[in-house]
């Protein structure tokens, strides 16, 4: 190859053994081994392939089309912060022609959501994206999660919050006139949800959780006067492992909030998460294998029409 002498010279200057070189560019030392593939890569190659895989997911499933107003669900955590960073870059790089903005839900959890929203506000300024915040208090007649927990206790708090949050996200998207809501769900999240729905025997949700594009929350749509259908949602990062999202955030020095919700330690999802982590340690491909298994079962229960899938994002 024409560039081989240059690569050999660069390697000699750095005195890096061939076994430690990036397996993609073969020009600089690898800084990490990808959890998903085991491939040794440098920082630049890792970030590039991470972004290209997200673009492939978006294009393959036709998640967006030019001119759409897209709400990026922003919690301040690592997943949504990486989503904001990647979507901003891809929208410019591939000229998707999307009108992006941030949509956050304030559940009213003192010492958690109020702090994480400060992170969202900083990212809104950094990326130059408008921010819309909707709160449980304004949507549910003064009820916040702190108030719900005081009334009901910790036993079912995540169940209440999940229902309220999905509806709030839907209503916020409607108020902001969004055409699509993009969420930061990653491959680990999807695999966990597949397992949870299998264990609960919830076939309808099994089909929904593996679909890259789904209908929004119908309860939230019904709560808005004159609304005929829910705002569809998509998962641009559904093929990315959680570990790789953490690595991507680290290498890009992204500003995110990492404190766990004070009400989540007893959540049912936590048991599924521990199981997924355990099988991933034994077999790294198990996360994607679990998702594929869910996809194999999904056609048995999926609706005939997938909302929001219009045509491929312009690339």
Residue ranges for the binding site for ATP? 73-75, 79, 105, 184, 189
Q: Which of 271, 266, 73, 274 is nearest to 157 (CA)?
A: 266
Q: Using CB atoms within 10 A of its CB, is residue 63 exposed (0-12), middle (13-18) or buried (19+)?
A: buried
CA distance 53 to 49: 6
Handedness of CA 243, 245, 247, 250 (dihedral sign): negative
- CB atoms inside a 10 Å sphere around CB 48: 14
CA distance 248 to 245: 5
Q: Which residues are annotated as a binding site?
A: 73-75, 79, 105, 184, 189
Task: Give one DSSP letter per residue of 34-79, joined into a string.
Answer: -TTT--EE-HHHHHHHHHHHHHHHHHHTT---TT-EEEEE--SSHH
């Amino acid at each position: 190859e024409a560039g081989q002498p240059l690569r050999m010279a660069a390697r000699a200057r750095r005195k890096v053994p061939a076994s430690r070189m990036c397996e993609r560019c073969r020009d600089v030392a690898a800084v990490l081994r990808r959890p998903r593939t085991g491939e040794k890569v440098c920082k630049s190659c890792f970030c590039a392939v991470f972004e290209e895989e997200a673009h492939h997911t978006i294009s393959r499933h036709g998640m967006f089309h030019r001119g759409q107003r897209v709400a990026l669900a922003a919690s301040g955590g690592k997943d949504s912060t990486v989503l904001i960073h990647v979507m901003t870059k891809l929208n410019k790089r591939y000229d998707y022609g999307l009108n992006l903005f941030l949509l956050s839900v304030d559940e009213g959890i003192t010492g958690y959501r109020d702090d994480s929203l400060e992170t969202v506000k900083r990212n809104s300024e950094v990326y130059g994206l408008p921010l819309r915040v909707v709160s449980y208090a304004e949507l549910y007649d003064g009820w916040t999660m702190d108030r719900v927990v005081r009334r009901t206790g910790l036993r079912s708090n995540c169940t209440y919050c999940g229902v309220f949050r999905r509806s709030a996200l839907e209503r916020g998207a409607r108020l902001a006139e969004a055409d699509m809501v993009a969420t930061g769900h990653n491959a680990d999240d999807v695999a966990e949800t597949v397992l949870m729905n299998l264990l609960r025997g919830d076939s309808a949700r099994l089909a929904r959780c593996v679909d890259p594009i789904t209908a929004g929350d119908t309860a939230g749509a019904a709560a808005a006067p004159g609304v005929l259908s829910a705002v569809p949602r998509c998962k641009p990062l559904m093929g990315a492992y959680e570990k790789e999202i953490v690595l991507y955030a680290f290498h890009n020095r992204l500003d995110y909030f990492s404190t766990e919700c004070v009400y989540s330690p007893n959540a049912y999802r936590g048991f599924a998460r521990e199981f997924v982590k355990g099988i991933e340690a034994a077999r790294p491909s198990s996360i994607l294998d679990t998702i594929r298994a869910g996809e194999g079962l999904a056609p048995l229960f999926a609706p005939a029409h997938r909302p929001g899938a219009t045509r491929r994002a312009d690339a």
